[in-house]
Amino acid sequence: MQLASWLFSDLENWEAIMENAFNLLLSCPSGLSSSQVSVRFDESYDRVPHPDSDLENSVSEIWDKRIQQNSSLFNGKKFRYGGHDGTGLNICLHLGLTDYRTFVGTNLNPLWERFVVSSEDDCKQCQHTSSPLGNGAIVETIDNKILVLQRSNNVGEFPGYLVFPGGHPEPEEVGITSHKCENGLQKSELSNSKVSQEMFDSIVREVVEEIGVPAATLSEPLLIGISRRVLNARPAAFFFIKCSLQSTQVQQFYSSAQDGYESTKLYSIHPSELENMASKMPGCHRGGFALYKLMLEAGNNIK
């Protein structure tokens, strides 16, 4: 009995470590504006099906079961993170296309680790996972407080955890549903430009919807990097945004936020106190906090 208790406790500890663990895939401590970030949107960055047919078939099986349990689930398109190139002042993100169904069936699959390839190459490591690129914002108010949300129990991932506001850039916001145009031609450089702008527009949209503040009170987002949670190999791009409101004013807007149902409380935290709260964040958001600290260490806090 004592051995069983020890094993259960050890498993709990391992799961907690996995939830909080992260890797930094990209760090931009100087903060990159939209003019410094480009996108190469191409089907070569789409997911590669797993050669194990049973494992690959589980993607559909898991989605079918989820639909039976919740018929309101929507299989929306997402951008898939396929790596990046460039360093310093200019970065090009490599993005493919995926969807929520594939995310549920690979990254959120109980057997998700079997979809991950043993490799030092990050892109090859995750070639069989959906890996939709999420986003998060480190929002700093005019009185130097950082905004953190406590997730509600109605959300699909990490209910009750602390997170930065965020979500996903949306392909359909820029008219993308596939890699082909209606006339069958490959999408143009114009599409790359639209996707790149969506990376920045989407995080402003998420902050407005989740916090409730007007977009006019937010500065232009600066990309500070990409982190990936070890658990489920979940990537997310993080941005730094200044808000021209006092934290008390932000709280007033939060009470009528459009997506307020996704969270139960908004915290306004001094950066020095944020360290204590980071342990209650999922790994990808802990990675976002680490990217913010690197920005501060580099002396690039925007005033």
- Give dist(CA 55, CA 111) in Å, integer: 8
pLDDT in tens, 161-183: 899 999 999 999 999 988 876 44
Residue 149 CA: distances (Å) to CA of 4, 172, 243, 268: 36, 26, 16, 9
- Give dist(CA 101, CA 76) in Å, integer: 8
Longest dimension (CA), the chain: 67
The pLDDT of residue 87: 77
Quick one: pLDDT band at residue 263, thresholds 50, 70, 90? Answer: confident
The pLDDT of residue 15: 57
pLDDT in tens, 146-156: 999 998 877 66
Please say if the pLDDT value at position 88 is more than 50: yes
- The whole-number average pLDDT for the span 52-77 is 92
Q: Give pTM, 2 decimals.
A: 0.90
Closest C-alpha among 105, 114, 48, 103 to residue 77? 103
Two structure tokens written together for 223: 């990309």
Helices 2-20 and 283-297, interaxial angle, to 10°? 50
Q: What sign has the CA pseudo-torsion 117, 120, 122, 123?
A: negative
> What stretches of the chain adopt beta strand conformation (E)?
22-32, 37-41, 77-85, 91-99, 134-140, 146-151, 162-163, 166-167, 222-229, 234-242, 263-269
- The whole-number average pLDDT for the span 46-66 is 96
**277: Cα separation from own chain's centroid:** 19
The pLDDT of residue 189: 67
Q: Is 197 left (phi over 0), alpha (psi -120 to 50) or beta?
A: alpha
The pLDDT of residue 303: 46
- Give dist(CA 182, CA 187) in Å, integer: 10
Quick one: pLDDT band at residue 69, thresholds 50, 70, 90? Answer: confident
pLDDT in tens, 180-230: 764 444 456 668 899 999 999 999 999 999 999 999 999 999 999 999 999
Closest C-alpha among 206, 193, 234 to residue 104? 234
- Give dist(CA 291, CA 303) in Å, integer: 18
277 burial (CB, 10 Å; 0-12 / 13-18 / 19+) is middle
Closest C-alpha among 83, 79, 82, 63 to residue 71? 63
